[in-house]
C-alpha cells in the first residue's frame, strides 16, 4: 500500500475512490491477516460507509482532509464506537462496547482517514513481544517464525505487512519503538502529554504515550500534526499550541548539534545493531559522543513505576479473576502489587533528578542517536538471548534502550535500518521535550540519503 499522503492525493484528484482504496485494504486483511494475526476486530461495514461519505463529499466539492480515503487501524486499547475495547485482555471481552471513538481516532477521521479495525497487542500493554495468551502471537512480516515486538506488535506488523497505510499504538517503556525496530518501520513517540489519551485504556498513567507507525517521514509528520492539540478531558495533555512539523521537515539541518549516545547505549547489543547506529552517524557526519548518565538506574526505576502503577490499576481483577489474566502479565502485576511504597517514592525522586540531568545535556546537543533494540527480531516462543557472552531473558531486555528515554517523556522516533543480509533494526532519534520538529528534520535527511 502506498504512503498515506500519496493515497490521499490520488483520492482527492479522482484517480481512485475512497471506497476502492478501502475495499483493497479490506481484501488484503481478509487474505493475509490469518498469517500475521494483526487484527482482533475488522470494522468492514463502517469503513466502507465512511469511505462512501468521503467520495460523496469530494464529488460535492467539500474539503475532506489531508488523509482522505487512507485506511488505518489502531491498537485495541483505543476506544472504537460500537466495539468492545479489549486492551489485549480476556477480562475485557464481555464489557459493553465503547460509546464513542477515542479523541485520536476522531481527529484522524475528521482528516479523512478510514478506520478498518483494531489490532493485537500484549495484554494491558505489558510486554515487548505481542505473544498474547488469549488472542495469539502477531507474526513478523519479514519472517513469520519471529515476533513482531510489542506491546504494539499488531500496529507495526499491519503497516509493514501492507494491510494499512498507518496505525496507532501506545508506548510506555518502548511499546511503539520496539516493534518499529523489529518490523522495520517508522515508529514515533512524541513528548509525554503532547497527544491526547482520552478514550485510551491506560497501563501506567505517568508513563503512557500514544503515537503512530508509518512508511515515510512525511506521513509521520502529517499524522502528528493532525493529532496535536490540547484536550481538557486528558489532564496531562499539554496546553502548548500545536507546532506543525510537515512544513518543516525539509529544513536545513547543518546547524544542528547531533551526538551518539555512548556508554550504556553501546555496551550490550548485537553487531548488526551497532552497525546500524554507525550507518546513521556516518550519513549525518556525526563524530561526537555524549553520555546519558545513570541510564541503567533510570531503566530500573521505570520498571518499578510501571509495575506499581499497572498493578494498582488492575488490583481488583488480580484479587477476583487471577486465572483470567495472561499468566505472564498476571505474575508481573502480582509482583508489582508487593513492591513497597518507599521503592515507588524513591523511583519518582530519582526520576526528577534524572530529568534535570537530561535537560542539561540538551543545552549541548539538539539530537541524540541511540539503538532502539539490542537485537533483531527473535523467534516466537524464544525465551533467552546471549549478549556480551551472557544468557539473559528476552522479554524484559527488548526495552533495554527505550525505557530510559520514555521514563522522562522524551520525544523519540525509531527509524528503520536494513543491514545487509540481516533483519531490520531501529535507530532512535531523540530530542528535548517538544522538539519533535527537529527529529523529523533529521529523519527526512536520512530518508533521502539511505532509507
State the catalytic residues.
75, 151, 175
- Supply the DSSP string of 338-401, one letter for each residue: TS-HHHHHHHHHHHHHHHHHHHHHTTT-SEEEEES-SSSPPBTT--EEEETTEEEEHHHHTTTT
Q: Cα dist. 237→40, 193, 408 in Å?
A: 28, 4, 15
Grid coordinates belonging to 100: 464513542
For residue 221, which of 65, 11, 437 has the smallest C-alpha distance?
Answer: 437
C-beta of residue 69 within 8 angstroms of C-beta of residue 160:
no
**Structural contact between residues 149 and 137, judged by C-beta atoms closer than 8 angstroms:** no
Counting other chains too, the contacts that 308-311 makes at CB distance below 8 Å and 24 or more residues apart are 308/336, 308/339, 308/343, 308/344, 309/203, 309/204, 309/205, 309/206, 309/207, 309/336, 310/124, 310/126, 310/203, 310/204, 310/336, 311/335, 311/336, 311/337, 311/339
Tell me which residue has cell 511499546.
Answer: 175
Q: Which of 190, 73, 234, 222 is nearest to 439 (CA)?
A: 190
- The answer to whether 248 and 440 are in contact (CB under 8 A) is yes
Cα 63 from chain centroid (whole Å): 29
Find the helix packing angle between 295-313 and 341-361, rounded to 10°. 130
98 three-class SS: strand
Contacts of residues 377-381 at CB distance under 8 Å and 24 or more positions apart, as own/partner, are 377/140, 377/142, 377/143, 377/146, 377/147, 377/148, 377/149, 377/182, 377/183, 377/423, 378/146, 378/147, 379/145, 379/146, 379/147, 380/131, 380/137, 380/139, 380/145, 380/146, 380/147, 381/131
CA nearest neighbour of 402 among 303, 284, 291, 326:
303
Q: How far is it, in rounded angstroms, from Cα 197 to Cα 200?
A: 5
Amino acid at each position: 500500500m502506498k504512503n498515506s499522503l500519496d493515497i490521499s492525493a490520488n483520492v482527492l484528484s479522482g484517480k481512485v475512490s475512497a471506497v476502492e482504496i478501502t475495499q483493497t485494504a479490506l481484501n488484503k486483511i481478509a487474505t493475509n491477516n490469518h498469517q500475521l494475526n494483526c487484527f482482533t476486530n475488522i470494522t468492514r461495514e463502517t469503513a466502507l460507509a465512511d469511505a462512501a461519505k468521503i467520495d460523496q463529499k469530494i464529488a460535492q466539492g467539500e474539503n475532506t482532509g489531508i488523509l482522505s480515503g487512507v485506511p488505518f487501524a489502531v491498537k485495541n486499547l483505543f476506544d472504537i464506537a460500537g466495539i468492545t475495547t479489549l486492551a489485549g485482555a480476556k477480562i475485557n471481552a464481555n464489557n459493553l462496547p465503547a460509546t464513542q471513538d477515542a479523541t485520536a481516532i476522531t481527529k484522524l477521521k475528521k482528516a479523512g482517514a478510514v478506520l478498518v479495525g483494531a489490532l493485537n497487542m500484549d495484554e494491558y500493554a505489558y510486554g515487548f513481544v505481542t505473544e498474547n495468551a488469549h488472542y495469539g502471537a502477531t507474526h513478523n512480516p519479514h519472517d513469520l517464525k519471529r515476533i513482531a515486538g510489542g506491546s504494539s506488535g499488531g500496529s507495526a506488523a499491519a503497516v509493514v505487512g501492507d494491510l494499512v497505510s498507518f496505525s496507532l499504538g501506545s508506548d510506555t517503556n518502548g511499546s511503539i519503538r520496539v516493534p518499529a525496530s523489529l518490523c522495520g518501520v517508522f515508529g514515533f513517540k512524541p513528548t509525554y502529554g503532547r497527544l491526547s489519551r482520552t478514550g485510551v485504556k491506560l497501563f501506567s498513567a505517568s508513563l503512557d504515550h500514544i503515537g503512530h507507525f508509518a512508511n515515510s517521514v512525511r506521513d509521520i509528520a502529517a499524522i502528528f500534526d493532525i493529532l496535536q492539540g490540547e484536550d481538557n478531558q486528558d489532564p496531562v495533555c499539554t496546553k502548548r499550541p500545536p507546532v506543525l512539523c510537515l512544513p518543516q521537515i525539509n529544513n536545513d539541518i547543518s546547524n544542528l548539534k547531533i551526538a551518539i549516545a555512548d556508554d550504556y547505549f553501546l555496551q550490550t547489543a548485537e553487531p548488526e545493531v551497532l552497525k546500524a547506529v554507525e550507518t546513521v552517524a556516518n550519513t549525518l557526519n556525526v563524530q561526537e559522543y555524549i553520555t546519558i548518565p545513570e541510564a541503567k538506574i533510570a531503566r530500573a526505576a521505570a520498571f518499578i513505576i510501571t509495575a506499581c502503577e499497572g498493578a494498582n490499576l488492575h488490583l481488583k481483577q488480580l484479587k477476583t479473576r487471577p486465572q483470567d489474566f495472561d499468566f505472564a502479565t498476571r505474575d508481573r502485576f502480582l509482583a508489582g502489587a508487593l513492591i513497597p511504597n518507599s521503592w515507588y517514592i524513591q523511583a519518582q525522586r530519582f526520576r526528577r533528578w534524572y530529568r534535570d540531568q537530561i535537560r542539561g545535556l540538551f543545552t549541548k546537543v539538539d539530537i541524540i542517536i541511540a539503538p532502539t533494540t539490542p537485537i533483531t527480531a527473535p523467534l516466537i516462543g524464544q525465551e533467552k538471548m546471549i549478549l556480551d557472552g551472557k544468557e539473559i531473558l528476552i522479554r524484559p531486555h527488548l526495552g533495554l534502550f527505550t525505557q530510559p528515554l520514555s521514563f522522562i517523556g522524551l520525544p523519540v522516533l525509531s527509524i528503520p535500518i536494513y543491514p545487509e543480509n540481516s533483519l531490520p533494526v531501529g535507530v532512535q532519534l531523540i530530542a528535548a521535550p517538544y522538539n519533535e520538529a527537529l527529529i523529523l528534520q533529521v529523519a527526512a535527511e536520512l530518508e533521502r540519503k539511505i532509507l
